[in-house]
Amino acid sequence: MNALRLATVFAQVLISAPITHGQLLLSTNDNKVTLVNGVATVVKSPPPDTLTVIDMVEKEIQVLSLDGTTLRDTGVRIAVKGGPAAIRIADR
């Protein structure tokens, strides 16, 4: 297959492919280490780790608690007014 034909096939695949966008942002937060006077220190009896789910369709941040293998809804919901950059100014 020559280069022009290969480029044409590739362009057709790109044009016909459906456009998809990511709609969830995920952030895990480990509660086992904290900073004490600028020094990383292991926390004794740490609280469960958390998973932050940012739904960009519903414009909402949801916080889940992860204890071992159990994922639990904490009930925390924060409205995001705008796109991903608006997370830094979301109400708390």
Total number of domains in the chain: 1
**Given a cut of 60, is residue 58 above it in pLDDT?**
yes
Torsion over CA of 76, 32, 66 and 62, rounded to 10 degrees?
30
**Does a structural domain hold residue 69?**
yes
DSSP for 51-69?
EEEEETTTTEEEEEEEETT
**Does a structural domain hold residue 53?**
yes
**Does a structural domain hold residue 9?**
no
Please name which of 60, 63, 59 lies closest in space to residue 47, comparing C-alpha atoms. 63
Q: How far apart are CA 90 and CA 82, in angstroms?
A: 9
Q: How far apart are CA 66 and CA 14, in angstroms?
A: 39
**Does a structural domain hold residue 15?**
no
**Does a structural domain hold residue 31?**
yes
**Does a structural domain hold residue 41?**
yes
**Does a structural domain hold residue 85?**
yes
**Does a structural domain hold residue 70?**
yes
pLDDT in tens, 10-33: 566 556 555 556 677 788 888 888
pTM higher than 0.75 for the full model? no
Do residues 83 and 59 touch, judged by C-beta distance below 8 A? no
- Print the domain residue range for 36: 21-89
